[in-house]
Amino acid sequence: MLTIQIAGNTGLENYVAALALYEARSVLSLDPGCEPGCEGLLLPGGGDIDPSFYHRENRGSRNVDRCLDERQFALLERYRSAGKPVLGICRGHQVINTFFGGDLVQDLPTADRHKQKNGVDAIHPTAAEQGSFLAALYGPKFTTNSSHHQGIGVVGKGLVVVQRADDGVVEGIRHEAYPIFGVQWHPERMTGALRNPDTVDGGALFRYFLSLAAVHRSDR
């Protein structure tokens, strides 16, 4: 069975449940020392990144936790160095972009189209780049959920945009050299018991991630 480190400690039940659907065990920890026993890293959703990490003043960032940022960056570096796959979801997608030198728009002009309303995810159409892994999984155009008010501005070094919303917001990225990729949406709320009939099945993305992690299976 594959073991995936989820970069956090609490409130991550949906991620654990989604991975379990595809027969993967989760370790919830911010300790880089877990890496040798894990085949991949999942950077989950959460609050905003401290803007000082991308050399900006706070102009709308919320629920900032600099300590969490530092620990997730350290984890990302550990897995990058090991050549193991990393999946970033929502905040995690933004962590990846910031780690590689990109920046964020701290409050999107079209944020109302992307934020939850009354605790319910927004839904919107997106387009995947031709030839990308997302196009292979879901086709050139597909619908996702949405629950964020920030988005990628300058794209980090080595990263490629592979998906955008219809208003231009970056919804998917991948690294050119490493098995590192991120999505601005929440596939863990699009699969299993939380499957949304108005979106594609998030399970396809988890299966893709785990297929990359299987290369590093410690019990092979």
Would you please indicate which residues are annotated as catalytic (active-site) residues?
90, 186, 188
What does the chain come to in residues? Answer: 220
Task: Quote the CA–CA distance of 170 and 128 in Å, as a whole number.
Answer: 10
3-state helix, strand, coil split of the chain in percent (to 5) is: 35, 25, 40
Residue 171: half-sphere exposure toward Cβ, Cα within 13 Å: 28
Question: Which residues, 6+ apart, have CB-to-CB distance to 178 below 8 Å?
Answer: 80, 83, 86, 158
Round to whole Å and give the CA distance between 43 and 90.
9
Report residue 14 as tokens: 């949906």
